[in-house]
A and B are shown apart, each in its own frame.
Chain A
Amino acid sequence: LAKTTQPISMDSYEGQEVNITCSHNNIATNDYITWYQQFPSQGPRFIIQGYKTKVTNEVASLFIPADRKSSTLSLPRVSLSDTAVYYCLVGRGAGYSTLTFGKGTMLLVSP
């Protein structure tokens, strides 16, 4: 399984754009890049997934450069409710193999 590295924590203010970068130097050809969000006292929740270039949904955008050795989760105009832990995962789909959750990035959004 590809190992990922992401910042332990980040701080932001309401209304700002937040970019969380994840490094995954040994990503394999068949690997997808997926991000999960976890609020306190809840299970992780899928946010977005991509393979290459850019993916956007109603919650976030995911930017993946051509070499795929890193990816950036972009949260536009964060609010207090975006305070959570964000996990970057790399590998094949959940239907094929297990996932390894690292320690994630604790994002704290302040007023």
Chain B
Amino acid sequence: DARVTQTPRHKVTEMGQEVTMRCQPILGHNTVFWYRQTMMQGLELLAYFRNRAPLDDSGMPKDRFSAEMPDATLATLKIQPSEPRDSAVYFCASARNGDPSYEQYFGPGTRLTVT
């Protein structure tokens, strides 16, 4: 049963520290999404990659957030420096390019707490 994996599952850090979250998309999926979920804002799209190239990162605060895909099996989301308002659950999702289905496969999420 293919799944999206995310690490770490939980992260507690102090304000100002760098945070790196990792995602392994499902093998063969070349579209990767990063989302952030909070009670107030719901599920927000941060960034979107296809074939490792960023297509849309307009939802991401550019001054502190960065997203990359070093290779087809790894996507990373970094926050530097982190702030308390970054506390949220960060989800990665993957999908097949050209698939008309809206089926995105979500990982379990990384729960980030910045104190």
Report A's interface with B, CB cutoff 8 A. 32, 34, 41-46, 49, 87, 89, 91-96, 98-104
Residues of A within 8 A of B25 (CB): none
Question: Is A93 a contact partner of B102 (Cβ separation < 8 A)?
Answer: yes
- Tell me the smallest distance from the CB of A49 to a CB of chain B, in Å: 5
Interface size on B, residues (CB 8 A): 27
Given contacts A95-B31, A95-B98, A99-B45, contact A49 B106 (CB under 8 A): no
Interface of A: prevailing SS: loop
Question: Is A101 a contact partner of B106 (Cβ separation < 8 A)?
Answer: no
Shortest 9 CB-CB distances between A and B: which pairs? A43-B106, A34-B102, A94-B95, A93-B100, A101-B43, A95-B99, A46-B103, A95-B98, A94-B104
- Tell me the smallest distance from the CB of B58 to a CB of chain A, in Å: 10
Given contacts A32-B102, A34-B102, A93-B99, contact A100 B45 (CB under 8 A): yes
